[in-house]
Structure 1
Amino acid sequence: MAQESLLTDSTPDLDVPVVNARTAQLSQRKLIWRRFRKHKLAVLGLVITAVLYLIVIFGDFVAPYSTGHYNADYTYAPPQRLHVVDAQGNWGLHVNPLIMEQDPDTLALEFTADTSRTVPVGFFVEGEEYQLLGFIPANRHLIGPVDANAPPMHLLGADRNGRDVLSRLVLGTRISMTIGLVGVLIAFVLGIVIGGISGFVGGRTDMIIQRIVEFFMSIPTMPLWLGLAAAIPREWSPLTRYMLITVVLSFVAWTGLSREVRGRFLSLREEQFVTAARLDGATRPGLIFSEMLPSLMSHLIATITLAIPGMILAETSLSFLGLGLQAPSVSWGVLLQDAQQIRVIATAPWLLLPGVAVVVAVLALNFLGDGLRDAADPYKR
């Protein structure tokens, strides 16, 4: 009874949070998850992020068409609406095919929906063949016209070559989301290793490493990205350019994390549990990986989540400016290159949808990172 009273009492002068007996028995993982669930925006960010990475894995299945599928008769075709009941009162999911007409007054070519005809739409329909997960032959798509020879379906419109915007937006998620993940992982490893050595060893080693870090931090980030990206030969394959862009982005993204890790290591190396492990005969790698890094893991996970949006924005900016990924590669930045023309803003605003995808992904990852950062300290009030 006395022990429970001690656990539930608070000491305002020392700012000690109230912890009941049931909470005190939970593991750190359960405490983090319990606090994370209370952050509604973080949970929403987790759901959206999970959906985006499922699209990365199963993008060929989700997309109605491949990135190269086009129809020149549907250049800048507007988005089509899904209907359940046609003009005759018949039930069935469908779209009305588009017909091109010329305005007699302005002579402009315009698309109108032909309500007298329907294109049946279904789920898990047969379409173009692809390699699911990169090695499984498949031809099923989540949604699309039931008849492969029917007029095309453009739920989010078509671009200047008559290619489906929805399909290219879905398949562009693969590069835009993974280039951030791969780039952050590289920067994560560099930041932990270099920052850990600097903070743990200290002395002259710390001084030399910090001067190198300060040198990289003093270089203007955007001009460095532009210069390194422009140095990549354009005749190289899209995959090679993709890998090099990832290295370029991660090359300048590790300095901030290394500073954070260094500061944490400087404070942790004086803690009693580290001193006890050192007196017990633990080696330097053992102290770093078994004692110090686990205490930073929650903070590092939150840092990774907050760093991915920066990578996504960097790739999108470089590709939009023509210095990043190039066609036939498909990313959100490459898709936004078509939005540089006045005609797009005036007559085809649906080509700006990749920008909306960037905003949604960045906000979701930021919400998720904020939630993880707050949940990393489950006893914080």
Structure 2
Amino acid sequence: MTALPAPGEKSEASALSLAWRRYRKSRLGVLGGWVLIVLYLSALLAPFLSPYDITAQHQGHEYQPPTRLHLVAGGHLSWPFLYGTKETRDPVTFARKTVDDPSVQIPVRLLVRGEPYSFFGIRTDLHLFGAPGGFYFPFGSDQLGRDLFSRTLVGGQVSLTVGLIGVLISFAIGILMGGLSGYYGGVTDNLIQRLVEVLLSFPRLPILLALSALIPARWPSGWVYLGIVAVLSLIGWAGLARVLRGQVLSLRQLEYVSAAQAVGARDLRIILRHIIPNLSSFLLVTATLALPGYILGESALSFLGLGIKEPMTSWGLLLSDARREGFQTLNLYPWLLLPGLFLVITILAFNFFGDALRDAADTQTRL
């Protein structure tokens, strides 16, 4: 005989199914979710997807435009290939430059051996694609001849994970401080809320710049990364704590909280095990909508030269490299702005996905 599900299990399953149906109604939200999955997978697999190491400099290929792939050879459809290159001199400026050599055709291969890298502790040199015997730059190269495609993928690891880790840390602080403020009230509430008001009274960008300036320039890249996450987290919890305080104030009067107090449960356990889980949908939506702010914060600091440093890279740092060329970038080297396109797509995807989750969590929304 099949056991009947408990009433709570059935209602929870039906609520999740209804929320899933509401989410699927938003085409932009579904599209944003798939875009985020692709972006995070590409960041996870960046060493494998990148044809070159991000620090590898290819002399003679500085400011190389995106390499064109060719599919027709001798009037027939062919496997993708690219032309070889040769050096020549500009007849006007007499400067050396690299141009295509149609007499040399280099096929693009899959699963090729290239520069070694470490993937989850495993040392390997296998890359998804490459052009043995030539240079293939899907996004072009920068002023040092480094592959911009590889640097964009690896830069996504920093920009995307900064948002995730920053949200986790700031939400942990915000949940704890907001929960204590709303649950206890009185002096505890006053002290926490005055601290929140102080943090919220400062403009976001100046306080980011002030805190990031405290990070020593001699720190290794890994330490700078952790420092940027800490800076973003320290100023990101205040708004959540204020909103969460009001939620906890209304929930602490409910029967299940009084029942937990009656059986002698500790206050912190009541907050974390009984009150906060009932706010999970609100926290999930808020975290999704807050992630773009952390990504933009890191990009702004790196763009201004106060964030991620070489040899690490991020989308903000890549845009900072494009800034060095001034207004000539748009005219001479427009491919250097491609990391900014990834940044815009990520922010839009998070906003669409967060809006869809908010509608899905709204029980008043009609199917």
Could you say whether these structures have the same fold, taking a TM-score greater than 0.5 normalized by the shorter chain as the test? yes
Picking from 38, 44, 64, the partner of 2:25 is 38
The CA distance in 2 between the partners of 1:25 and 1:170, in whole Å, is: 39
**Cα deviation digits, residues 150-200 of structure 1 (max 9, x gap):** 121111111001111101101111111111111111101000000000011
Question: What is the CA–CA distance in structure 1 between the aligned matches of 2:213 and 2:42, rounded to whole Å?
Answer: 30
Written as runs of structure 1 = structure 2, the 5 A alignment for 1:1-381 is 26-87=13-74, 89=76, 91-107=78-94, 110-133=97-120, 135-145=121-131, 147=132, 150-279=133-262, 281-340=264-323, 341-342=325-326, 343-381=328-366
Aligned-pair CA distance for 1:380: 2.5
Q: Distance in 1 between matches of 2:250 and 2:230?
A: 31
**AA paired with 1:138?**
T
1:325-373 superposed Cα distances (whole Å, 9 cap, x missing partner)? 1111111111111111133222111001111111011111111111111
TM-score normalised by structure 2 residue count: 0.91
SS of 2:308's partner is coil
Question: Post-superposition shift, 1:270?
Answer: 2.0
| C-alpha spacing 1:290/1:357, structure 2 compared with 1 (3 Å) | same
For residues 128-161 of structure 1, the C-alpha deviation after alignment (integer angstroms, 9 at most, x for no partner) is: 111112x01222111211x2xx121111111001
Which 5+ residue runs of structure 1 have no aligned equivalent?
Answer: 1-22
Distance across 2 between alignment mates of 1:41 and 1:209: 38
Q: Write out per-residue CA displacement over residues 62-121 of structure 1, whole angstroms, 9 at most, x where no aligned residue.
A: 111111122111010111122222246462221122334333235455543222211110
CA contact (8 A) 1:339 1:345 kept: no
> What is the CA deviation profile of residues 246-289 of structure 1, one whole-angstrom value per residue up to 9, with x for unaligned ones?
10111101001101111110111123443344445544234222
Letter in 1 for 2:129: I
**For the residues of structure 1 that align with 2:187 and 2:19, how far apart are their CA atoms?**
38
Residue of structure 2 equivalent to 1:12: none
Q: Secondary structure at the match of 2:81?
A: strand
**Hey, what does 2:4 align to over in structure 1?**
none
Identical pairs, percent = 43
CA distance in 2, matches of 1:294, 1:28: 15
Give the CA RMSD over aligned residues: 1.9
Q: Is the 8 A contact 1:87 1:115 kept in 2?
A: no
Gaps of 5+ in 2: 1-9
- For normalisation by structure 1, the TM-score amounts to 0.88
Partner of 1:19: none
Instruction: Decide whether the 8 Å contact of 2:322 with 2:336 is kept in 1.
Output: yes
Per the alignment, residue 20 of structure 1 pairs with none
2:124 partner letter: A
The one-letter code matched in structure 2 to 1:94 is F
